[in-house]
Structure 1
Amino acid sequence: MHKRTLKWIVLATAIAMPLAAQAHKVWLLPSATNVAGVDPWVTVDAAISNDLFYPDHHAASLDQLVITAPDGQTAKPQNASSGKYRSVFDLELTQQGTYKVAMVSQVLFASYELDGQKKRWRGKTDELATAVPKAAKNVEVTAASNRVETFISNGKPNDVALKPSGKGLELVPVTHVTDLVVGEPATFQLLLDGKPAGDLKISAIAGATRYRNAQDELTAQTGKDGKFRLTWSHAGMYWINASTEDGNSGMKQASKRRLSYTATLEVLPE
């Protein structure tokens, strides 16, 4: 199997399933989430790992990377590269305000029977027609929509880059994402295709799980308005995740859809 194809499959598999329930977690980790001064830069790691923020499994692909600048325009990463266990890139913060760094993907999963044998396939939407044989029976197709994000503010934060797209599962901050402090409740809202996503479980896991016997996890539930609240127990980087499934794939090929949202947020000391 081609190395590039294998790498893409590993990433698709990791982010298409409910992330809080599996060992491998996808994440973006910035070297800082609040910066200031003349010509500030940050370096961002992207990986799939067993232990949070410790690259020990596989590099995440940067093919679906989208960086939104404080004015809403797209910013470009610099010095991007991918190794065995992590990908990395630099970001020059040329504007004042908040940047959103995201990996956004949509893939299809198919199961079918051919000549009495069960088969599985995963790939891009435009590949489905030729990937699944016409003679296949009991074909079931699921769309997977996944978003992995982190945020960086240069100077005073703003909200332009945080505007939701109205597609998939998205986070809308009520408390600003780069202004989180230990002991202070933070409120967020989850949207599903632009509408409040009620009754979803939220998992917030503190980093450095490599050095703990148990995960330091906070949980919350969204209300009918999609809002939820978290009160941070200590400072550091947190991995936030929510996932759901519905029958609104928006594609004639897929009968259902799996969605996940993941973010890395930094909580500052009091």
Structure 2
Amino acid sequence: MKLNKTVVALALAGLSLSAQAHKPWLLPSSSQVEGKEAWVTVDAAISEGLFDIDHQPLKLDGIVVNGPDGGKLELQNVNNGKLRSTFDLKLPKPGTYKIELVSKSVFGSYKNKEGETKRFRGSEESLAKDVPADATEVKLSRMQSRLETFVSTGEPDMAVFKPTGVGLEMVPVTNPTELRVGEKVTWRFLLDGKPAANQGVSLIPGGVKYRGTLGEIRKNTDAKGELTLELPAAGMYMVSSSWPAATPPVPGQPPAMAPRRVSYAAVVEILPE
């Protein structure tokens, strides 16, 4: 099974939000859509600058759109460009919709019979092909990434936020399509269905290249996996978190590779007061 570039990027970057890392994102034209014919356009890309179209498109394979009634929506007017992908969604019913891309991958290294170190990345299904039967010193790391954004039309609701119990998830106490400057928001994070206590979470606005600074807000969750913060200036933001926390590199040694890494990222819009 050939792993597409999206999964590779997610696995290697771990959805890291350092200033230099390439970041995948799903950016809706608006988080609140009005009108009898409610449509939204979504940009999808991997970029160095958050929401900048500067690197490569995000593959749309695996995108799932969950409706408020439990149904799935089809992507319409799909376009795969050189630097970004785009698609439209018609929102047929009032409520909140969740657009998500969940990826799983395995990567690591091994030594072949000649004693050479080989690296690989793929899927659970491709492991037998990626790693020879006579390989030694096999090191594996499994990566699960969840990338989301949210759109509401009419009266927002919370039906799409039922957790799956797998990986790192955000279960909002405050609907993420109803965010306004100066108000407080509460988000709950779960790891495999249980509260993700003392979990570091970042909130970063787009437009870094115009500000010259990252502008990151970082907080840790409490014992219930919750955090509350006052919403900053209006704009599009990325919420992100990963587990376990990255360990500092040891000079002269290869980077430590956790047996399992899970990450979460979502694009949200903060509206003016």
For residue 117 of structure 1, what is the amino acid of its counterpart?
E
Q: 2:22 aligns with which of 21, 24, 45?
A: 24
Q: Secondary structure in 1 aligned to 2:126?
A: helix
Deviations along 1:36-95, one digit per CA (max 9) or x if unpaired, are 211110000111101111110111111120110011121111111212211111000001
Q: Could you tell me how far apart the structure 1 residues matched to 2:99 and 2:200 are?
A: 23
Kept after mapping to 2: 8 A contact 1:11/1:61: no
Write the letter of the residue equivalent to 1:158: D
Q: Is the 8 A contact 1:14 1:26 kept in 2?
A: no
* SS at structure 2 position matched to 1:20: coil
Amino acid at match of 1:212: R
Q: Can you list the C-alpha shifts for 1:144-173, whole angstroms capped at 9, x where unaligned?
A: 000000000011001111111111100001
Runs of 4+ aligned residues of structure 1 deviating over 6 Å after TM superposition are none
Q: 1:11, CA displacement in angstroms? A: 3.1
Residue from 31, 48, 51 that aligns with 1:50:
48
Q: Does 1:211 align with 2:214?
A: no
User: Runs of 5+ in structure 1 lacking a partner?
Assistant: 247-254
Q: Which residue pairs with 2:234 in the alignment?
A: 235
- Specify the alignment match of 2:267 in structure 1: 264
**Whole-angstrom distance in 1 between the partners of 2:131 and 2:149:** 36
Q: Deviations over 1:100-127 (max 9, x none)?
A: 0001110111211112211111111100
Aligned equivalent of 1:135: 134
**Helix, strand or coil for the counterpart of 2:198?**
coil
- Aligned position for 1:148: 147
In structure 2, C-alpha distance between the alignment counterparts of 1:181 and 1:9, rounded to whole Å? 33
Equivalence for 1:196: 195
Q: Would you say the 8 A contact 1:181–1:267 is kept in 2?
A: yes
The alpha-carbon deviation at position 8 of structure 1 amounts to: 4.3
How far has the Cα of 1:206 moved from its partner?
Answer: 0.6
Post-superposition CA distance 1:191-210 (Å, at most 9, x none)? 01111011111110011112
What is the letter of the counterpart of residue 230 of structure 1? L
CA distance in 2 between partners of 1:54 and 1:175 (Å): 28
Aligned to 1:102: 100
Structure 1 residues 220-260: Cα deviation after superposition (integer angstroms, max 9, x where no partner): 101111001222220000011000039xxxxxxxx821010
Identical aligned pairs, as a percentage?
45
C-alpha displacement at 1:19, in angstroms? 1.1
TM-score, with structure 1 as normaliser: 0.91
Aligned with residue 68 of structure 1, among 66, 69, 74: 66
Q: Provide closer, same or farther for how the CA distance between residues 57 and 10 of structure 1 changes in structure 2, counting only shifts above 3 A.
A: farther
1:175, distance to aligned residue in structure 2 (A): 1.0
In structure 2, the partner of 1:167 is 166
Give the gaps of 5 or more residues in structure 2: 246-257
Taking structure 1 as reference, are residues 140 and 86 closer, same or farther at Cα in structure 2, changes over 3 Å only?
same
Alignment coverage as a number of residue pairs:
259
Q: Is the 8 A contact 1:14 1:25 kept in 2?
A: no
Q: How far apart in 2 are the matches of 1:12 and 1:216?
A: 23
**Match for residue 250 of structure 1?**
none
- Give the stretch that moved more between structures: 193-202 or 5-14: 5-14
Give yes or no for contact 2:7–2:104 (8 Å, CA) kept in 1: no
Moved more, 127-136 or 89-98: 127-136
- The aligned amino acid for 2:101 is M
In 2, Cα distance between the equivalents of 1:188 and 1:269? 20
Distance 1:145 1:10, change over 3 A: closer
Greater CA drift, 237-246 or 216-225: 237-246
- Normalized against structure 2, the TM-score is what? 0.90
Local SS of the residue matching 1:161: helix
**Residues 47, 58 of structure 1: 8 Å contact kept:** yes
Aligned-partner Cα distance in 2 for 1:197–1:220: 13
Asked if structure 1 preserves the Cα contact closer than 8 Å seen for 2:110 and 2:137, the reply is: yes
